[in-house]
């Protein structure tokens, strides 16, 4: 397939009916298919959308272009779950089939209102000269998962002083009033986040621009997301073009978190309680979406993939996945992330971590503790151990380094093949490592920091190898149920 503008934006009903079944059959044979992470049946997956609890189920969608591993005409693929670990595919929820989203149903969020789910998303439209128009569209989902779009759009255009890069509304409710935080770009090419307010979900008025410091804006703010944890606001966002003098990051674009002490909605003022941090210190996390669940938890899910980066699965006509669902907590104004407790239900066949653990099944996890002032090396390898993912732990210097140079299928080499994160020195180091065939999620010191990424071996990983002072490590390994 030659992916040009015409093929990327071919309407879904113009594709031959045989295309999707053929692509799905091809993708199903991939040795890199995941057992427990959300992934597309074919084509490209990107931003998580509409994460909510509604109709006695967890609701989650993701942007999808099902016809190839490229960014083309986007729709929303809808999933439901009763346990946050097993997801049922409900099919396409929002398709790019109106004059307000003719070139893509882009990122958005959802909140339950009575017996319906209210959705707001960005409709992407291109004119004959390929100029962009962005509309913030409302929609209602009923208990039968049927979606009805509202016309005209909630917000027809960005306000004066901002470009058409105006997208990704984040809905939330406070004291019976509704708000939407929307990513934007000023005409001076400075990233921004705009707050809109509504009392009735019909009329939306600009409340103002969030007072982000200039050094945190980059040239565009994508996927702004506000969540409350123990009464404190936490802002999660993706500032494209962020100077590395502001935040040391190595990926093409960062996903940033900022813990606050207060968010004054009337004056659109966010008071920070700490420094901005990378949400994930690994290779591939972007576009994280979080919300306050009715059970009191702050839950988040991330796109494990990055814009403008090619992946080895592209040749198989699929790309990317979502992270496991994570619970966000705060301690001393620091954001912690951990897989939701439900994830532990996947564990089976516990083994003691030792120098070599074999007979693993492609999806497994380990929890380990390294004593203070020690160094060990952990390899995630195939049966022949010819290629591997390498994790170095040093509790003397307080560093964890993940190296994917030796996996056999390198990619994104321009941005480096190692990542290192820093924790306390001279103290015991805890690690929870989850492997699911071609993705790793690494949670360090009870979620103080995380490192996530894709890696591609010639076969599914089946063994862990531990080198160094093995006696300084205690831990357990579990296979995951299929």
pLDDT tens, residue by residue, 60-117: 999 999 999 999 999 999 999 999 999 999 999 999 999 999 999 999 999 999 999 9
Q: Left (φ > 0), alpha (ψ -120 to 50) or beta: where does 114 sit?
A: left
Residue 477's pLDDT band, with cuts at 50, 70 and 90, is very high
- Which residue in 293, 324, 273, 272 sits closest to 435, CA to CA? 324
Its sign, for the CA torsion 332, 336, 342, 343, is: negative
Return the HEC string of 81-92: ECCCCCCEEEEE
CA-CA distance, 236 to 229, in Å (whole number)? 13
The chain-wide mean pLDDT, for the chain, equals 97
Burial class (CB in 10 A: 0-12, 13-18, 19+), 19: middle
DSSP string, 99-125: TTSTT-EEEEEEEEETTEEEEEEEEEE
Nearest to 391 by CA among 382, 380, 383: 380
The strand pairing partners of 329, in sequence order, are 336
DSSP H or E segment with residue 467: strand 463-468
Q: Which residues are catalytic?
A: 47
Residue 327, H or E segment: strand 326-331
401: which DSSP letter?
A: E
> Three-state DSSP class for 415?
helix
118 pLDDT band (50/70/90 cuts)? Answer: very high
Q: Are 73 and 9 in contact (CB under 8 A)?
A: yes
pLDDT at residue 482, rounded to an integer: 86
Confidence (pLDDT) at 1: 87
For the cut 90, the answer to whether the pLDDT of residue 384 exceeds it is no
Q: Give mean pLDDT, residues 414-428.
A: 97
CA dihedral 211, 217, 223, 225 (to 10 degrees): -30
- Residue 133: pLDDT above 90? yes
Q: What are phi and psi of 17, to 5 degrees?
A: -65, -20
pLDDT in tens, 157-214: 999 999 999 999 999 999 999 999 999 999 999 999 999 999 999 999 999 999 998 8
Q: What is the pLDDT of residues 76-89, one digit of tens each?
A: 999 999 999 999 99
CA distance 382 to 462: 5
Torsion of CA 40, 45, 51, 53, to 10 degrees: -10
Residue 385: band (very low, low, confident or very high) from pLDDT cuts 50, 70, 90 = confident
pTM higher than 0.95: yes
pLDDT at 226: 98
Q: Is the dihedral of CA 181, 182, 186, 191 positive or negative?
A: positive
- The angle formed by the CA atoms of residues 358, 360 and 366, to the nearest 5 degrees, is 95
pLDDT in tens, 15-43: 999 999 999 999 999 999 999 999 999 99
Q: What is the CA radius of gyration of the chain?
A: 22
Calculate what percentage of the chain has a pLDDT beyond 70.
100
- Per-residue model confidence (pLDDT) at position 35: 98
């Amino acid at each position: 397939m030659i992916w040009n503008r015409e093929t990327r934006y071919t309407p879904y009903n113009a594709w031959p009916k045989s295309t999707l079944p053929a692509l799905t059959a091809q993708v199903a044979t991939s040795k890199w298919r995941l057992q427990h992470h959300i992934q597309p049946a074919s084509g490209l997956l990107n931003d998580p959308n509409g994460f909510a609890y509604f109709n006695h189920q967890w609701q989650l969608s993701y942007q999808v272009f099902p016809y190839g591993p490229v960014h083309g005409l986007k729709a929303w693929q809808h999933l439901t779950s009763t346990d946050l670990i097993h997801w049922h595919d409900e099919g396409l929820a929002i398709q790019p089939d109106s004059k307000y989203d003719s070139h893509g149903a882009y990122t958005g969020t959802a909140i339950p209102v009575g017996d319906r789910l209210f959705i707001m998303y960005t409709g992407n439209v291109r004119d004959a000269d390929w100029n962009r128009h962005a509309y913030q569209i409302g929609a209602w989902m009923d208990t039968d998962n049927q979606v009805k779009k509202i016309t005209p759009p909630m917000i027809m255009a960005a306000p004066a002083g901002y470009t058409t890069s105006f997208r990704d509304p984040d809905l939330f409710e406070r004291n019976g009033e509704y708000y939407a935080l929307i990513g934007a770009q000023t005409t001076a090419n400075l990233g921004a986040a705009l707050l809109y307010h509504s009392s009735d979900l019909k009329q939306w008025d600009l409340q103002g621009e969030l007072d982000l410091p200039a050094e945190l804006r980059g040239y565009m703010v994508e996927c702004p997301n506000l969540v409350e944890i123990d009464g404190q606001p936490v802002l999660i966002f993706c500032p494209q073009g962020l100077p590395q003098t502001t935040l040391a990051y190595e990926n093409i674009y960062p996903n940033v978190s900022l813990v606050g002490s207060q968010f004054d909605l009337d004056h659109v003022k966010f008071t920070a309680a700490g420094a901005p941090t990378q949400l994930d210190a690994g290779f591939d996390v972007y576009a994280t979406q979080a919300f306050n669940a009715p059970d009191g938890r702050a839950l988040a899910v991330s796109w494990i993939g990055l814009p403008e980066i090619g992946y080895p699965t592209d040749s198989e006509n699929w790309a990317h996945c979502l992270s496991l669902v994570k619970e966000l907590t705060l301690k001393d104004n620091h954001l912690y992330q951990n897989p939701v407790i439900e994830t532990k239900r996947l564990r089976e066949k516990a083994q003691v971590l030792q120098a070599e653990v074999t007979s693993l099944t492609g999806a497994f996890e380990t929890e380990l503790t390294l004593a203070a002032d020690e160094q060990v090396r952990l390899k995630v390898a195939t049966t022949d151990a010819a290629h591997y993912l390498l994790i170095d732990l040093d509790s003397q210097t307080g560093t964890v380094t993940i190296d994917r140079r030796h996996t056999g299928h390198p990619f994104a080499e321009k941005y480096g093949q190692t990542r290192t994160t820093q924790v306390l020195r001279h103290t015991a180091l805890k690690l929870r490592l989850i492997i699911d065939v071609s993705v790793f999620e690494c949670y360090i010191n009870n979620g103080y920091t995380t490192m996530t990424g894709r890696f591609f071996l010639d076969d599914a990983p089946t063994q862990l190898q531990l080198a160094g002072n093995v006696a300084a490590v205690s831990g357990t390994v579990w296979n995951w149920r299929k």
